[in-house]
A and B are shown apart, each in its own frame.
Chain A
């Protein structure tokens, strides 16, 4: 056990060393927060993000945690692109006890190839391009500290396999995306336990995305199999509308098993309003029903985000649930570098 911890610490130290070296060896003369830095004169950029969150829940001990810390390296050379992201969750957590964690996970790891403007492929581990929230899932890029429940219970957050994309070239922008996975999560090469995803070894999915000026629509469907022999289907529909000041966002999804509907609905409708370039108010209504876990809840999330600079987000939110013990207050500070 001690040996395992030493290995984890060593991995952690090596990754930190690579990042710090990259930053010190930065090839660009000016660094701007939130945009990464070039590694020497290589076609390689380093960046990452950190999130610190405080959560206070009814009848539970409050928690303060560095809940997300990740380092990214990426780049492109002609038609080939590449990205690796290593993440550590709950690096530090303070509730009734203090715990630390230095285990690094492969959050994303892929190679991409563009044939032209219309076709591209990606192979490896990447965010499943489902709905709007799951494509920008990190705290600093999200509208609120919490993520809608739909992103946790309906579909696999990450795909580990092949993605093929077709992009339209007409006046109306649309994209068709297909994914095939026939293996376990790449992170299980390093760790036995699954991290931040459904434990699946087969997944087929399709997505259609449309963009028309201020409106965007995303439709996804897929089939996946878990390691405990569950075969599940999901469907998700999402839309967004935005203008200079406001943004309306909605997603709805459902999940089916072999013996019928597992989750009849999980979704949200969110309105956000930019008071100015640094301040934003957010109101989200969420609802879901999970027949498998016999759980049903509806709740309102009222949030406020202050960004002293775009890559730094200070957020606060309160959630009122129909299940009262789920009521909670969240604040967070997050940064993209």
Chain B
């Protein structure tokens, strides 16, 4: 029973973790609104200042991804799955998926158009923060 409580408490903690959206230091993006982020992660907005945007997702099971999707996209799993099924039929792919936060940061450092959401505690001066989300 204690283990179950621990799992529940830690899940709540992870879900409420503050996250940030980062991009490459050379990017011309200074900040993004929630609406713009939604548009980018649904692949509706695909360019910024002439540069093609590459939004990154963490794995499906990742709690930060779930939190980000619920906060920014405001769509449940089924709605999102249906959306991407329709996009698949239209020949469009969902955001590229990386295996870990460290992988996401490495990718962002290498590609000017890349964006990723990461826990606040991972932020350093090698990347630019363009959005703050979650509960501090």
A35 CA / B92 CA spacing, docked (Å): 10
Residue of A nearest to B76 (CB): A277
The segment from A73-81, A229-237, A265-273, A285-293 that touches chain B is A73-81
Q: Bin the interface of chain B by size.
A: 20 to 34
Q: Which of A78, A79, A138 contacts B89 (CB 8 A)?
A: A138
Q: Is B111 an interface residue (CB 8 A)?
A: no
Interface string of B1-44 (1 = CB under 8 A from A): 00000000000000000000000000000000001000000001
State in angstroms the CA–CA spacing of A171 and B35 once bound together: 9
* Neighbouring A residues of B89 by C-beta, 8 Å: 49, 72, 136, 138, 141, 336
Question: Is A311's CB within 8 Å of the partner chain B?
Answer: yes
**In the complex, what distance in Å separates the CA atom of A311 from the CA atom of B81?**
8
CB closest chain-A residue, reference B60: A32
Question: In the complex, what's the smallest C-beta–C-beta distance from A118 to chain B, in angstroms?
Answer: 9
Given contacts A35-B85, A47-B88, A78-B52, contact A277 B93 (CB under 8 A): no
How far apart are the CA atoms of A336 and B91 in the complex, in Å? 13
B81 touches A310 (CB 8 A): yes
A residues in contact with B76, CB < 8 Å: 244, 277
Can you name the residue of chain A whose Cβ is closest to the Cβ of B59?
A30
Question: Which residues of B lie under 8 Å from residue A117 when comparing CB positions?
Answer: 45-47
- Cβ < 8 Å to A, chain B residues 52-89: 52, 76-78, 81-82, 84-86, 88-89
* Residues in A lying within 8 Å of B, measured CB to CB: 34-36, 45, 47, 49, 72, 74-76, 78-79, 81-83, 114, 116-117, 136, 138, 140-141, 171, 173, 244, 277, 310-311, 336
Residues of B whose CB lies within 8 Å of any CB of A are 35, 44-47, 50, 52, 76-78, 81-82, 84-86, 88-89, 91-94
